[in-house]
Structure 1
Amino acid sequence: MEPSSPNAPNQAPAEHLAHGFKRTLFGFSPSLKKASNNYGYLFKTSSSKASLPFSSDNQQLLERLGRSMIDSDGRDEQSGFSGIDAGYTYFGQFVDHDLTLDVDSKTSQLQDASQLTNYRSPNLDLDSVYGAGPAISAYMYDTESLRFILGRTSGQGQEFDLPRTTGANSGLAIIGDPRNDENLFVAQFHMSILRFHNAVVEALRPSFSPEKKAELFAQAQKEVRQHYQWVVFHDYLRTLIGADLLNDLLSNGPTYFTRKKYPSFSMPVEFSVAAYRFGHSLIRNHYHFNASFSDAPFTNAFGFTKGTVPSIWNVHWPSFFGTAAQPAVNKARKIDTCVAFSMGNLPLAPGAAPQNMFTVLSARNLVRSMALNVPTGQYVAKRMRQTPLSQAQLLSSPYLNPTDEQVTSHRQQQEILQADNGLLLKQTPLWFYILKEAEVIHQGEQLGPVGGRIVGEVFMRLLVDSEESFIHNPEFKPHYGFEGTDPSKYKIADMLRFAGTYPIPGLQ
């Protein structure tokens, strides 16, 4: 990996908890668990062939498979970029933090997902941003209880950072979900949503008398949520699952995850542990953060956790979300079974041994899936009336013009898939299967029929279940920051523009 530039942030300290590590419940209100939703299964069955048996031998096999997915070449260009703007990678992580929070699952034992609690409200309601609202989470709001408090960057001192604590424990982000300060990209997006809310408040303020502050806040919050839901569907999902599937879902609703089949919502592990983790394959080794850091290592994004962001490191969002007139500089890697080199060397938890499985994101995903008894790709495909991928497709290479190292790495992966009488070719972990499906059917440019349908149906069910979602308000059309005439073309960039961060003034 390239050394950091002289102006790069310090690398993540040893105590940094990388995305996906178990977190403590200390400080959570006991009432939260009672009011929270559980995880569950879309296609749970007692069949022994429906999921990979939990065993130490299979754990070792999955760890080997996960390590084989790590690209041996740290140059993204060698593996190839997709046509997907890189901003969708971290928007997807921001959305994930709005929907799921699992602190109870383990990788060391078999667990029933239906016994695990989801500590986020799965409603696309931005509870990770609003917390419990200004009445309870008052520390996040101004004295009017209308606007979010913002933090100032070091250097120019502008309000383009998250609000942070001062004193002995200075630098901690004062936000609704601490995970949104795990890396610079998600933190900067969270900051942008705070600013978007504040801008909506000011746009609505003339329509409300001074004594109607509560009504003003409620209306601003509703507008923010519906604009957010709109871009999740009409921008993010349209890009990642394809327009045809999205239009079918908006017109006809879910096919499998219906209220009739599942009267109570439980976050399916087929989504949270497998399908929605496709975003991990989009992560690059290097990014154009801004004109000052045009080819900086991805790991630099972890250097600002628990600390004020320097102005020079603010993210230049037009480089991550492009327009027809100005394409994004950063394109994501393809949705495939080749994961960036950086994903094989994540920060360790305190006291963890070197080469721990948790430093390798792909290995962690696969083992966690087995521990939660997630159905295999073949089983889910059949339940969804899809022809499962063939063994030849599962063994195919993700590389178009591989280096010698990549050829060797892929041969090792083939050997792992064929080991134990081809166990993983017959009972393929759903996460790996969904990445391979996108790779062989859509050349890594979007999710395939199984992965796309699972992701799309869960999001659609969220809209259906929420009485305040835009789908139940036919009159709603997004408008804040929009410069076009067709509301279906309203994008994430439009929200950022209204927030004043597309781009941040003076940043290139």
Structure 2
Amino acid sequence: MEDLGLNMLEDPATAGTENSTIESGYTYFGQFVDHDITLDVDSDIDVARDARSLINYRTPNLELDSVYGDGPGVDSFLYDSEGVKLLVADTVPGGADNTIPIMPFDLQRNINGKAIIGDPRNDENLFVAQMHMSIIKFHNAVVDAIRLEEPALAPDKLFVKAQTEVRRHYQWVLMHDYLKKIIGSGSVDELLASGPKLMPANKKFFMPVEFSVAAYRFGHSQIRDNYRFNQVFNNSEFFWAFTFTGRTVPSDWIINWRSFFTVDGIPAENMARKIDTRVAFSMGQLPGSAPGGSFFATLSSRNLVRSIALKVGTGKAIAKKLGITPLTDEELLRSPFANPTPNQVQLHERTTEILRSNNNLLLKRTPLWYYVLKEAEVMNQGNQLGPVGGSIVGEVFIRLLKQSKDSFLNDPDWRPRFGVTDGDPNSFRIVDLLRFAGTLNIPGIH
């Protein structure tokens, strides 16, 4: 597993993997969603654990408890004096461009620079931190809009009404924008029409480790080595996203979301890497004390070994359980490189050697995370998940929506209304949410 994970890493000699058709903004929206529904602080990567005994410290109801905490009555430190709006903080002058003014586009922080938010993981990289901040600003903008509509509404009732609307707008873009990018419009439409089949809504729900430890980690393969953050840092290495967290964000590091999403027909400049069995070189350089390229610094190896610790089923076994024809050995051994260089040929030969070692052990018992990536690579050219990965991810999200008390699915007549730009609420997307929040078009950031 460790060898396979290390061999998934790109290096300067094997880089050049084509981009997918998915914009990079969806990668970090997906990470934000992950932090909203799962938090495991009990299991250890190298200690076997019964997954049924794990505690999920997030409420898996797509209700933004990572943003709202336990509400203004309990977590008052997240809110203004009325207990209606969520708090944000000012940036500081930039070191590279100090002409961009100080603006309220950072998370509130304590004296040590730690973000004061419902989930500290949302300050682990700048992209997710700025997405979290955008959700906060969306809530505050919705509060302002409802207050204009109903000026006599009491603060407590105003908060609850705004929170319900924000949750539903968030759930809408998750289902109708993000998930359609990841598993395909047809699969989403079928889920919305038929509901969950693997996890019926009338049975108690447990977050499947097949989702949290394997299938939903597909986003790790989409991360790029370099991004256009904004006009100041227009081709900067991924690791910079970790540098400006745990401290007040400089104005010249505010994320320009127009570089991460296609907006008004203008293509995003940062497209995600393909969902495939290759991961960016940066994924072997995780922040921490471990040397680059070692097991503990390599995300792909850690993902694979973690699946052993939690006894996650293998790819072919899960496919059969779902009634899906498993990938053949030929498909599992197929090269991810369309026109391979000599270095890429050598790299793939090493992958084949690892899969075939110990009497074809990993070919027979392919780890589910690797299998989901390979399935997307083989069946959809890395542009969306295949049937196993798509079934697991789609089923979990539709099940979460079915059980959420504020779910838009439980109010069939509800449609988005805050940020709809073309008069058609069905077209509401993540960029519309960001636009209404005021984080899509920020003066001085482009």
TMscore range, shorter length: over 0.9
The 3 A distance-change label for structure 1 pair 151 and 285 is same
Alignment of 1:32-431 (within 5 A): 62-73=1-12, 78-155=16-93, 156-166=101-111, 169=112, 171-210=113-152, 212-260=154-202, 263-323=203-263, 325-349=265-289, 352=290, 356-431=294-369
Q: Is the 8 A contact 1:74 1:342 kept in 2?
A: no
For structure 2, which runs of at least 5 residues remain unmatched after alignment? 94-100
- Quick one: distance in 1 between partners of 2:84 and 2:102? 23
Distance 2:386 2:208 in 1: 18
Alpha-carbon spacing, 1:474–1:424, altered in 2? closer, same or farther (3 Å): same
Paired residues, what number?
Answer: 439
CA distance in 1, matches of 2:55, 2:37: 12
3-state SS, counterpart of residue 332 of structure 1: strand
Separation in structure 1 between the aligned mates of residue 10 and residue 334 of structure 2, nearest angstrom? 15
In 1, the alpha carbon distance for the partners of 2:244 and 2:61 equals 29
Q: Counterpart in 1 of 2:97?
A: none
Structure 2: which amino acid aligns with 1:293?
F
Match of 1:13 in 2: none
- Deviation track 1:222-250 (CA, whole Å, cap 9, x = no partner) reads 00000000000000000000011100000
Write the letter of the residue equivalent to 2:308: M
**CA deviations over 1:313-333 (Å, ceiling 9, x no partner):** 111001101135211111000
Shift of 1:256: 1.2
Contact 1:343–1:360 (CA<8 Å) still a contact in 2? yes
* Counterpart-to-counterpart distance in 2, 1:471 and 1:247: 13
For residue 148 of structure 1, report the CA deviation from its aligned partner.
1.1
Matched position secondary structure for 1:405: helix
Residue 108 of structure 1 deviates from its aligned partner by 2.0
Distance 1:371 1:108 in 2: 6
Name the aligned partner's letter for residue 259 of structure 2.
Answer: S
Distance in 2 between residues matched to 1:75 and 1:131, nearest whole Å: 44
How far apart are residue 355 of structure 1 and its match?
5.1
**1: CA distance between counterparts of 2:247 and 2:13?**
28
Deviation at 1:294, TM superposition (A): 1.1
Q: Give the alignment's Cα RMSD to 1 decimal.
A: 1.4
Aligned mates of 1:483, 1:428 — CA distance in 2: 46
Deviation string for 1:30-57 (max 9, x for gaps)? xxxxxxxxxxxxxxxxxxxxxxxxxxxx
Kindly, what percent of the aligned residue pairs are identical?
55
**Runs of 5+ in structure 1 lacking a partner?**
1-61
Find the residue that maps to 1:72 and give its secondary structure: coil
- Measure, in 1, the Cα distance between the counterparts of 2:264 and 2:147: 33
Aligned-pair distance for 1:340? 0.6
- Alpha-carbon offset, residue 207 of structure 1: 3.5
Q: Normalising by the residue count of structure 1, what TM-score does the alignment of the two structures yield?
A: 0.84
Counterparts in 2 of 1:203 and 1:399: CA distance versus 1, 3 Å: same
**Offset of 1:210 from its aligned partner?**
4.9
CA distance in 2, matches of 1:308, 1:74: 37
> How far apart in 2 are the matches of 1:109 and 1:165?
34
In 2, Cα distance between equivalents of 1:477 and 1:107? 42
Shift of 1:208: 3.5
Per the normalisation by structure 2, the TM-score is: 0.96
Letter of the 1:215 partner, please give it: K
- Equivalent residue of 1:397, what SS? coil
Q: Quick check: 2:6–2:293 contact (8 Å CA) kept in 1? A: no
CA distance in 1, matches of 2:42, 2:291: 22
Q: Does 1:443 align with 2:381?
A: yes
Task: Name the CA distance, whole Å, in 2 between partners of 1:398 and 1:503.
Answer: 38
Q: Residue in 2 aligned with 1:485?
A: 423
- Indicate conservation of the 8 Å contact 2:85/2:140, yes or no: yes
Cα distance between partner residues in 2 of 1:372 and 1:488: 40
* Paired residue secondary structure (2:74): coil
